[in-house]
Structure 1
Amino acid sequence: MTRFIHDQFAKDYLEELLQPYGEVKAPSRVAGEVREIDVSFSPQIEQITNLEVLGLLGRFAATPAIFEPYRNAASNDEICDCLLKLLEVKGALQREANRNTSNVQESEIPKLWILTPTASANLLSSFRAMPTNDWLPGVHFLADALRTAIVAIHQLPVIEETLWLRILGRGKVQSQAIDELQALSANHPFQKATLELVYNLRQNLRVNQNLEPDDQELIMRLEPLYQQDREQAKQEGIQEGIQQGERLVVENLLQTRFGSLDNELQGIIETILALPATEFTPLLIQLSREELITRFGKNS
């Protein structure tokens, strides 16, 4: 089923985003009847301020967290199963504290973030899940003692702060988020890695014969982006090869003419390479060492 493909994507995606900031376990087992937590995260104290780059997801990750992402709308039973995982983790922490004759600190107990593409009013009401004024719309908290929130991704506002969660949505929500992801600056710390994960998701879905309409639309949406990205990578590779070839020509000409590449000659190579090859080649052949250094040296 394609759900498992999306589940693996969500785990890989969250791990990719969170691993620079703490310890990620995806999945991790809990005691009792065998259950697996999709993503368990413990932040590194010195990295907490850097989590701002992940917006709302970073705010979730500022304290120990359990992330349970769903491709389809989470059901009552699935949310109850998530709560059981959290309670078992809390029980394990308490047993460890008892062995050490210590107390469990509130800050050690993870918060549970259930990430669901949609959530009906009836489902939210059945868990008394409520929004709060100090969090964005779409984040619905259960009773304080349960340390749990249901994140209805389709209700999140379309702002940069929610981008990294909307990537895990469905249909138009996910498509809009992918557009925003592609439009980010190429030097954004997570843009390239996230696009690669999305392209891998596309590849995994393409081999499946029984795709849901949402998945078919996702593949069609990603196809031109994928081709554009690969063409750009190809062109960058060609350009890099040309630049490496030109550098080799310059180094070989200098070494052939003057016997070795000392610090002075090495220091003018970058300036020489700023010229087209048709211009720098005759200069390298005609000018003396002193003339080259005078013309292309840092103080020229």
Structure 2
Amino acid sequence: MKRMRILKYYLLPLCSLFVLLLYSNIMQAADLPKVIDKANCSQYKDLLIPAMYRAVESGDYIITPGNLNFKYKQNDKFIAASVKNEGKFDVTSDGDLISKSTGKYPENIYGYPFPKIDLKDPKAGEKIIYNFDFQRYRFMGSRENTRVMWVDKKGEERYAQGLDQRLYLNGRQPGQEIKNPEKLLYYQLQNVLDPMSVKGTNSMRYVYMDARPDTNYAYVPAIRRLRQTTSTTRSDPYMGSDAWLDTNYMWDGKDRNMNWKYAGEKTILVSFTSSNMLPVQELPDGRMTRVFPYSGTHPKLVP
């Protein structure tokens, strides 16, 4: 069985550091062993997602539990803005986010749309996923190096790497709004830069606020053609891998296309790159760049 790993330089450190999320009175990180491996993983099966448990059970992964050295939360400005959103928004029967005052998708929301969610509310699952979206939209824009690898037990078989660039038109901080006559949530441009066999394969995505399906375009250098693709291509295998574009950021599809239900809470072990907060550097033009604590050289990709 071949496995696909995304963002090699981000994921490799994750294999060695797992932190207990949703602390309970029953289980704390201090109660866990220094190592969870194939010899003892059956005792901690309930703390691992099924795919990770299978990897540890087969001997492919070894987990070293730990604690975070910082408070895991959103920044104070984002939280304060979220509080002001209380009671302003709702979700329709079709799964669309709307402003209660207009009945339409809000032009711009900064903060969580639903800072307080009654878990008995039948719409709780939908409200949670919209909160999940807007904590990402607060970036306003992003430019990420990406690397998709096909890995078997002998190591890397092949790869594709490039750039994922986004401009968010909703979720922006006050004073940073952008004119948005097309009512878009965001633009996304993906460039494949390496290896040479697929270099120049590009895709452009327009994600709308309302029920309109995404507009997607793709350029394939092998045929020298730009073509419009359907919104369902987001669920097609990406570059021949076992993943698809809607799995970006864990979920990157249109929320109204899925049925969301709150199923309950559970204590699990989750992966972190570092037990310390990752530092950022502010560039002269106001952009922020993250400084990762991995060792080795990360290739700088320039389109």
**Bigger proportion of residues as helix:** 1
User: Larger C-alpha radius of gyration, 1 or 2?
Assistant: 1
TM-score (norm: length of structure 2):
0.23
**Bigger proportion of residues as strand:** 2
